[in-house]
Chain A
Amino acid sequence: MDSYNIESSNADCLDSRPLKKPKCEQLNDCDLSPSPRSSTSLASSCNNIESSHVYDLDARPLKEVKCEQMNDVDISLSPPSATTLPSSSPEKDPYIIDSIVAEKVSCSDWIDLESDNDRRILLDDEKHQNHHEQFKVDQTYDYLPQDYEMTDLDYCALMTIESSLESDILVKIDDIFVTQSQLSCLLDPKKFLNDDVISAYICCIKYQAHLESRNDVKFYFENPFITVILKRDGKLGVGQDGNHITKIVRNYLKHEMVLIPINIKETHWYLAIINTQKCEIQVLDSLCWDSNRVDLADTLQGLQFHLDIIGRQQNLISHNWKDLQIISWTITEQVQEPMQKDGYKLAGILLCWKTNTAQTTHQNMSLLGSSNDQKETKATDSLLEETKYQSLMSILSKINENELVGGLCDYIKSINCPETLEKVWVRNSKPYSISLTVR
């Protein structure tokens, strides 16, 4: 079962990073310009969060009682401990590096390179889209990060995943719902990457591409479901039942690049790009398994069946495809060196994506948005205790010592619940026995 899981050290990952550049050059035939790298200045502060994260999980006995517990557990006790705990380095992460996700990340790299992370475009766009206005731009991902650096936003997202119930829907982007149990594959290298997770990420990519709205190259992002059906049709042929799929394939003809995620069952994902101008199938495979392209062949065969049907129909729409004999196109491998990476970053992206409308993240994000306004943190809704805790953690990672002390003072002053004030907030037995209440 685990044989698919080619593990590599982090050094390997780093080695493969420069790959992005060459990849960009290879794909330059679509007139893409590399975008500026996003800065992740918070990377260093993540260590603290990491350690406190572990601490937090150890301290919490049961998920089910988290809300009630968080009411009782004094919020102020744990976060300061984050600064005192020895910070564990991300390299020593207990999770091994997941090979499968790298594929998807490599897709994202590819897309990112073509995109320009100009936030102003996004902001302009937001004005026209009412349902996005409730998000604060700073606290969500409004672009796809190009590196794998974990930010505090990502760690908060991870904590949300860890602390949610399996059936909780944590990501809802467009029509795609992703539950906690499906997302957990990103945190567990032994699990297979879920197709809904892929779909959700493809929604992010689509959204980004839509914002860029390049006129020169028209992209079509297929979802994994259709790929599976195309693969089936490639194996079994197309009966009269395939009309709706033919309709979808017909829509491909309006585009110049069709991006198809392909799954090797219970093994690996890779991306095939149908470059209709070069009559080429370009494969982006993070593991470079160029000998295992059976699924691609089946998918292309299925696609060919549908193209044949379209070709036989009288009402063929005008299109720019050089020809419709896709099965005869050459297949080229775009990635020359394997890349590996875990799925943490993607988990963060999905939960914090700006169009994620799942309820949990709503609350999480709105609380994160109040990070500079301590008064808001004492939101009275007890259900929000969990996210309150997390938001406090993110604050801690951002501010320096003076601000932290000042902020904590403000926060404590802002508490006016008598019960909370009477409670013992800090207790320590070494070197002296100390217990402090807020009062």
Chain B
Amino acid sequence: MSPPPEQDRRLGVVKPEPEPMIKLKVLDNEGRRVFHTMRMSDKLQAVMDAYYAKAPDVTYGSGTFMFDGSIRLRGSETPAEHGLQDDDVIDSYEDL
């Protein structure tokens, strides 16, 4: 929780740069592309939720989200943890 701005001024604290937003792309087995823009420190669950919203036939919570062909993404993790960058592709597929 960041303190309110006026408190910043009073304490002379320099307000940190706003965290850059990154755009992530989820690509699934059906060829669907779902884009989601988020902060590096946001939970990846957000992008997953965005995908589930666009793919109503996929059961919520099912499937696997994978980055770079080897890194399994979990909703509780953040893009920063895995070094995700702008325009990165997340592969998604149903459970086998």
Contacts and interface: CB of A to CB of B under 8 A. Distances in A.
Interface stretch (A40-48, A154-162, A222-230): A222-230
Contact of B71 (A175, A194, A226): A175
B29 interface: yes
B16 interface: no
A229 B27 CA distance: 10
A195 B93 CA distance: 12
A353 B71 CA distance: 22
A228 B72 contact: no
A229 B93 contact: yes
Contacts of B89: 241, 243-244
B69 A225 contact: yes
B29 A228 contact: yes
A226 B69 CA distance: 6
A225 B64 contact: yes
Given A241-B25, A241-B27, A228 B69 contact: no
Interface residues of B, number: 17
B62 interface: no
A76 interface: no
A133 B68 CA distance: 31
A265 interface: yes
Interface in B1-47: 25, 27, 29, 31, 33
B69 A245 contact: yes
B66 interface: yes
A224 B96 contact: yes
A248 interface: yes
Contacts, number: 46
Contacts of A228: 29, 93, 96
B95 interface: yes
Contact of B95 (A195, A223, A243): A195
Interface in A140-185: 175, 177
Contacts of B29: 228, 231-232
Given A236-B31, A248-B69, A229 B91 contact: yes
A241 B89 CA distance: 7
A8 interface: no
Task: Find the residue from B31, B66, B69 having the highest chain A CB count within 10 A.
Answer: B69
Given A228-B29, A232-B29, A236-B31, A244 B93 contact: no
A247 B68 CA distance: 9
B23 to A, nearest CB: 13
A202 to B, nearest CB: 12
B70 interface: yes
A263 interface: yes
A177 B73 CA distance: 12
A423 to B, nearest CB: 43
Given A175-B70, A225-B69, A244-B89, 10 more contacts: A175-B72, A194-B96, A223-B70, A224-B96, A225-B66, A226-B69, A228-B29, A241-B27, A243-B89, A248-B69
Interface of A: 175, 177, 192-195, 198, 223-226, 228-229, 231-232, 236, 241, 243-245, 247-248, 263, 265
